[in-house]
A and B are shown apart, each in its own frame.
Chain A
């Protein structure tokens, strides 16, 4: 009898095909709005919470997470905007998860995290801290309010 059973050979082939499929899917699905966070070098300017309007539908938001709130706590933008979020922490590690969007970042002191996302629909998108950050962790939520035309 040969060393590798014929069924084993089949299983190895199936495993290979499946792996190829997974790896192809991962590489194929990389795009601007759903990729891993971008490395941004640290700069003090990101530690000041801010919403910057670059043009009608392009925004930059500097988010500072701290025990136990996000600043800015309410972010108003018009529909169809593309937003770059730059996220950092003033103290311990915090999470930054925008509901219904594929933005999922870790906020770390002395480090800047970045993700870009486009808001196609009006509505309120909750931002929840999902990394334990101390006794009042469960209070830490902010929101993106997409309310064109009367963007504040």
Chain B
């Protein structure tokens, strides 16, 4: 379909900005594997500190890229399926909120004033602009959601008996989850952290802040994932040359995500004090509820791929795996999506370990964790995002993809890198190797008393994987920005691959309206989070003052400005 120049430009920018920033994110990903392996035995490189780079890596890759992309992809799916465009003014206001927020946070991180990692756990304090920037980015991403909801209600009034297109349902479910979970982090940032970072409030309840963060933090992973799920259900079967086995299964799975993605955040706090064992167990068991939509999806996608493979002449039980368009450069999205699905199998298996309280005791906060989530967020999520970014950009601009053969092999290079990297990290985690630590300075430095030889092979594997991933990343930048430099050769259109349903399933009202699901979501949420929040408010004994990463004494001064730097006193001694 044709879309206005304004919407086209909006989507270009929403894809281009985070992918440009991704270069910083990916650079720091590589650097971490180098520091951790002991190849670099220093606190910083090229004037950027390890923990500063780690903060940049997490915030850019996991929050900025994913949020910008979700909004851009939301605009694309909603416009494409509802045949209408979002409100121009509000879309651009949202864009500016998100962009200014990103700039503020980026400045704080690059200036070294917010090396607090992407979880920004207090009482480690970052620059107020870091918190303000994050809040602006999030609030900016709410605006299109309200607009899409308005468009959907309008569409539904005209088409009451037509099934809501699956992609539209997915986008709305995703942003409902996003809106609900970000309310908690917005409260954390605006009410707890910002006044405290500015020095207006002397202390903070750390456990409450962590509980609010993880209310958001786990739902966040589904917010990353659902755009990929939308592509799996509505595009992958078509790209494979078949049809979607069951459209209803997709609806059921998406609505179940509405129930199971938020009320499980406490499983990130199994090791925390002051939160009761009972509520940890309860949310732990709820976490396993997500197995239901996951299995529904695994079956439906496999059945759809089997149908496609058999149509292409596959025989036998599993012969269809051999007949899929893995290296068809005209259907490169298939390669990106199937590679992501493959990694997701391992992401899911390692996730079961994390979700089980007792097993989590072994691997909590070790290298196992990044090993796990690089097979989810840097697996299906990342591959779907970068593949779709190229796809949307090239169809919206009418430009041909630069180096199409290279483009189709990038996801396979990425998969090899991730598998090696995650194997090393998971292994290291089982041996107690900590995550988020500049290992090269001590644990992987043979000159240090703390040298731990068991972690040499594990960090070396992570390094090899990291290098391969970095190469795949650089090749991707060549393809994406190379495409930007191409000349338009066809009419710019908004076109998405559309999978037909294999069976003509009738419309079931329960799976075509939001109200009952929203009510159920609210009930489970209240049941799961009331006890956790009561614990977090009541049990802590004292609130904590603010600390900066470089100093064990609290920043008691009301002013957020740093105390006089040590350098000047050194100079004054010398002059004496």
Q: Which residues of A contact B (CB under 8 A)?
A: 1, 3, 5, 7-8, 11-12, 14-15, 18-19, 22-23, 25-26, 29-30, 34-43, 66-68, 87-88, 90-93, 95, 97, 99-100, 102-114, 126, 128-135, 137-139, 141
Contacts and interface: CB of A to CB of B under 8 A. Distances in A.
A34 B274 contact: no
B290 to A, nearest CB: 10
Interface stretch (B351-359, B468-476, B483-491): B351-359
A138 B439 contact: yes
Contacts of B49: 135
Contacts of B452: 126
A113 B124 contact: no
Contact of B365 (A19, A110, A131): A131
Given A42-B539, A130-B364, 8 more contacts: A23-B285, A36-B277, A39-B276, A91-B554, A102-B361, A102-B362, A104-B362, A138-B438
Given A39-B277, A141-B450, A92 B547 contact: yes
B273 A40 contact: yes
Given A91-B123, A110-B540, A139 B450 contact: yes
A7 B296 CA distance: 11
B248 A19 contact: no
Contacts of B554: 91
Contacts of A35: 277, 357-358
Given A15-B291, A92-B547, A97-B364, A130 B540 contact: no
Nearest to B437: A138
Contact of A26 (B295, B357, B435): B357
A73 to B, nearest CB: 12
The A interface, classified by DSSP as helix, strand, loop or mixed, is mixed
Contacts of B358: 26, 29-30, 34-36, 102
Nearest to A110: B542
A109 B208 CA distance: 12
A131 B117 CA distance: 11
Contacts, number: 208
A36 B270 contact: yes
B115 to A, nearest CB: 8
A22 B543 CA distance: 37
Contact of B542 (A12, A93, A109): A109
B432 A99 contact: yes
Interface of B: 43, 49, 51, 54, 117, 121, 123-124, 206-207, 210, 245-246, 248-249, 269-277, 280-281, 284-285, 288, 291-292, 295-296, 299, 303, 352, 356-358, 360-362, 364-366, 431-432, 434-439, 441-443, 450, 452, 503, 505, 508, 535, 539-544, 547-552, 554
Contact of A138 (B365, B431, B442): B442
Contacts of B295: 11-12, 14-15, 18
Nearest to B550: A135
A39 B549 contact: no
Given A110-B544, A138-B439, A37 B299 contact: no
Nearest to A28: B358
A104 B271 contact: yes
Contacts of A95: 271, 365, 434
A8 B246 contact: yes
Contacts of A129: 434
B212 to A, nearest CB: 15
B206 A22 contact: no
B541 A106 contact: no
Nearest to A128: B434
A115 to B, nearest CB: 8
Contact of B435 (A41, A67, A130): A130
Nearest to B300: A8
B358 to A, nearest CB: 5
Contacts of A26: 281, 284-285, 356-358
Contact of B547 (A67, A100, A106): A67
Given A35-B357, A92-B124, A139-B442, A23 B281 contact: no
Contacts of A137: 51, 436-438
Contacts of B505: 3
A39 B278 CA distance: 10
Nearest to B445: A138
B432 A97 contact: yes
A113 B248 CA distance: 46
Task: Name which of B273, B291, B295, B549 has the most chain A CB atoms within 10 A of its CB.
Answer: B273
A39 B248 contact: no
Contacts of A141: 450
B117 A18 contact: no
15 contacts: A3-B505, A3-B508, A7-B299, A15-B292, A19-B288, A26-B281, A91-B554, A104-B362, A106-B271, A112-B273, A113-B273, A130-B364, A137-B437, A138-B438, A139-B450
B356 A110 contact: no
**3 nearest A-B pairs in the assembled complex, by CB-CB distance:** A42-B541, A110-B542, A130-B434
Nearest to B245: A5
Contacts of B274: 39, 108, 111
Contact of A108 (B272, B292, B352): B272
